[in-house]
């Protein structure tokens, strides 16, 4: 199959990345990073989470962030919502889209959102109705689709079954997540082929983690199956609450954009522009972020330096 000519990157750093940070990031810093990412060409972004501030204090400024960002035409500002209360806040705050996570593992779903899978499914049903009534997109993320830290392997059938249930509710955007970075390229291909064959009218995207270094290889495998939308996080910020110390989480946006741009696939995103936003986050957090391109620079920059050196030598020689 031919690779998709255009690929959409969903930036999740301001939500998935920031929520893992213990030090509160001032609203203006969050907004500066979000606006910087839009200037770099990001067109879909999880900007915040409408979670109970007592649970995730970092997200206590969700409404303020939504008010302060430079709303740009054509950019979809997404809010994560854990429940209907969060959805009502998100709609009142003016998000373009809401995402809700459901996990196929009963024990993890309980731990993550305090609901059984069945309760989460009922919430999904109410959420899409609420979204329709308010003209706000709703999307389901099926977390831990490739394995669970509490239950181990998750049968593919269970993901297909859950997908079927949310599709029956009317969802047409489904994100398949490997929240703990256990998927491999063969598994990604198999899963995405099966889901796309089974639900031809649904648009699937992937949320992949880089925990075992397989993030970009898994993206490549999915591109081969025609998947054209991927989550990533500036600088590789964020991860799962159950990651091992020293392990990394999300795919760094600049690494993903760099790969796609280098392959000649259209992203509409400027790698250097993303790096400007990543450096803002890095400077604020005061530690090097786990992004390769941020550390090494782009090939283009390396070759530009080579060209300049050659020209200088010619001029002096």
Q: Tell me the C-alpha distance between 115 and 111, whole Å.
A: 8
In this chain, which of 263, 266, 311, 312 binds a copy of itself, going by CB under 8 A? Answer: 263
Q: Is residue 258 near a copy of itself by the rule CB under 8 A? A: yes
Site pattern 131..170 for a copy of itself (x: CB under 8 A) = ----------------xxxxxxx-----------------
Q: Is residue 4 near a copy of itself by the rule CB under 8 A? A: no
Nearest to 198 by CA among 142, 156, 229: 156
Q: Tell me the C-alpha distance between 17 and 281, whole Å.
A: 10
Q: Tell me the C-alpha distance between 68 and 89, whole Å.
A: 16
DSSP 236-255: G----TTPPTT---BPBHHH
Q: Is 277 exposed, middle or buried (0-12, 13-18, 19+ CB in 10 A)?
A: buried
In this chain, which of 24, 67, 288, 312 binds a copy of itself, going by CB under 8 A? Answer: 288
Instruction: Report the residue number, 150 or 169, with the smaller CB distance to a copy of itself.
Output: 150
Strands (E) across the chain are located at 8-11, 44-49, 76-80, 97-102, 137-142, 173-178, 203-208, 229-232
Query: Smallest distance, Å, CB 149 to a copy of itself?
Result: 6
In this chain, which of 55, 92, 129, 306 binds a copy of itself, going by CB under 8 A? Answer: 306
Give the number of residues written for the chain: 317
Instruction: Report the residue number, 71 or 309, with the smaller CB distance to a copy of itself.
Output: 309
- Interacting residues toward a copy of itself by CB under 8 A: 3, 147-153, 180-182, 184-187, 210-214, 216-217, 219-221, 224, 243-244, 246-248, 252, 255, 258-259, 262-264, 288, 291-293, 295-299, 302-303, 306-307, 309-310
């Amino acid at each position: 199959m031919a690779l998709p000519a255009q690929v959409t990157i969903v930036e999740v750093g301001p939500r998935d990345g920031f929520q893992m940070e213990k030090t509160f990031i001032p609203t203006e810093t969050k907004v500066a990073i979000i606006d910087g990412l839009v200037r770099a060409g990001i067109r879909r972004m999880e900007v915040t989470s409408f979670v109970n501030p007592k649970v995730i204090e970092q997200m206590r400024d969700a409404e303020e962030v939504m008010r302060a960002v430079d709303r740009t035409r054509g950019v979809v500002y997404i809010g994560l919502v854990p429940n209907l209360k969060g959805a009502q806040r998100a709609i009142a705050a003016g998000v373009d889209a809401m995402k809700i996570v459901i996990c196929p593992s009963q024990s993890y779903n309980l731990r993550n959102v305090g609901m059984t899978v069945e309760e989460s499914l009922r919430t999904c049903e109410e959420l899409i109705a609420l979204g329709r009534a308010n003209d706000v997109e709703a999307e389901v993320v099926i977390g831990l689709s490739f394995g669970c830290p509490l239950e181990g392997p998750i049968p593919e059938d269970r993901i297909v079954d859950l997908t079927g249930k949310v599709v029956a509710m009317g969802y047409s955007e489904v994100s398949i997540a490997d929240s703990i970075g256990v998927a491999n390229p063969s598994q990604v291909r198999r899963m995405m082929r099966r889901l796309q064959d089974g639900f031809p009218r649904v648009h699937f995207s992937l949320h992949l983690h880089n925990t075992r270094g397989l993030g970009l290889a898994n993206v490549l495998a999915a591109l081969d199956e025609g998947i054209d939308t991927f989550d990533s996080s500036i600088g590789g910020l964020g991860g799962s609450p159950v990651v091992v110390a020293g392990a990394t989480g999300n795919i760094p946006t600049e690494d993903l954009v760099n790969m796609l741009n280098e392959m000649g696939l259209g992203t509409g995103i400027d790698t250097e522009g993303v790096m400007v936003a990543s450096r803002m986050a890095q400077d604020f957090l005061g530690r090097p972020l786990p992004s390769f391109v941020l550390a090494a620079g782009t090939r283009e920059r390396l070759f530009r330096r080579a060209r300049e050196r050659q020209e200088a030598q010619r001029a002096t020689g």
